[in-house]
Every structure is written in C-alpha cells, then in structure tokens.
Amino acid sequence: MKDTITLLRESEAMLEGHFLLSSGKHSDRYFQCARLLQYPDKAAEALTPVAERIKKDIEDGKLRIDAVCGPAIGGIIVAYELARQLGLPAIFTERDDEGKMSLRRGFTVRSGEKILIAEDVITTGKSSGEAALALKNLGADIVALACIVDRRASGESLRWPLYESSAIEAVTWNAENCALCAKGIPVVKPGSRRI
C-alpha cells in the first residue's frame, strides 16, 4: 500500500506556486485532490487508513456514525468512498442560490443522527463548519471530521476529532501579508468557492 503523499504526487495533485485558497488565504502549495480522486483505486487506497482508524474507534465504542456527509464539491467523492468502506450512507451539502451551505436533493437527516463530515483538504475547516451548521440546524450531531490532506497551520484547532490520511505542511499567508504577492508573483485560484 502506498502512502498518501506518494499517491498525491503520482496523480499530480500536489501543486506548487502561488494560490488563492477557498479560505481566502494565499499559499505556496495547493492540493487538487480531484486529480487523485479521478482514480477510484487511488481514492480507495488513500482513504483506507482513515476508514480503518474509524472502524477501530467504532469497534472500541469511542465513536458512532450513522452517515457520512461531504461538503460540495471537494468532499463528495471522499464522503462516498469513506461511506462505501464503512458500509454507511453518503450524502452531501452544497451551496444554495444565496451561497449558503444546505442539504438539498432530497437528502434528509434525523434528529440526533451521528454524522462524519468528509473533505478532500482541510485548511481552516471553514467548509466543514458550514456543512456542520446546515446539518445541526436539521437536528444532526456532528461527531468527527475526515480528510485526505490536513494542511492546517500548526496550532489551528478544529471543533471535532479529525481522521486524516496525511498531514502536510504548506506555508499560508493572509492576503495582506503574502510574501509571494510582495514578490509580484501572480496568484492563481484553482478552487471552486466564490470568495
């Protein structure tokens, strides 16, 4: 079994340059996990260690999950693959016409239902938080997060336990303090969220 960093490199999903992230921050590294997720075997391989850790915590009574939810668009395939490996349903949230994260397409959650939120990449946890709010407003209980790449800055905490396939350091700046902007290097916005 290959490690996730190898899978990211093989699928050319780890990019270097000057990028505008969905969080609004700038970075020298971008993870285009869609390039990895286009290969079902690589997606399964990258998420197997995550699924195995989750299964162990379920067996040990530390965790209960009823469904896996992925914030659109990056979390949809991740949620599906994790749900497949865990034997659970997969749903996703998406932005409505006003840009608010919502549960649509006939998906429902029951009051007290235990949800794992799955993402491709976590930088600040903003998308996960927006999905969590939409689900909590419907009565669901968020129990954990999962991702392929955890690229949070050191010391940046999350509200829920995290099951990551890899933790990779990447330099991140607020736009007004970006060292790459100061050097005049043009910024590229590869993500899908309107900032």
Q: What is the domain-level CATH number for residue 62?
A: 3.40.50.2020
| pLDDT average per 10 residues of sequence, the chain (195 residues) | 88 93 87 94 96 98 97 94 98 92 92 97 88 96 97 84 92 92 92 57
Q: What's the confidence (pLDDT) of residue 130?
A: 93
Q: What's the confidence (pLDDT) of residue 194?
A: 58
Q: At what angle do helices 74-86 and 40-59 cross, to 10 degrees?
A: 60
For 44, phi and psi rounded to 5 degrees? -60, -45
Which of 193, 127, 116 minimizes the C-alpha distance to 162?
116
DSSP, collapsed to helix, strand or coil, labels residue 31 as strand
100 vs 115: CA distance, rounded Å = 19
Q: What's the confidence (pLDDT) of residue 193?
A: 56
13 vs 37: CA distance, rounded Å = 9
181 vs 109: CA distance, rounded Å = 44
Tally the domains of the chain.
Answer: 1
Cis before 148 (ω within 30): no
Q: Which two tokens stand for residue 101?
A: 């994260």
Give the global pTM: 0.88
Identify the domain containing residue 14 by its residue range: 4-182
Q: What's the confidence (pLDDT) of residue 152?
A: 86
Q: What's the confidence (pLDDT) of residue 160?
A: 94
Q: What's the confidence (pLDDT) of residue 117?
A: 98
Q: What's the confidence (pLDDT) of residue 153?
A: 77
DSSP, collapsed to helix, strand or coil, labels residue 89 as coil
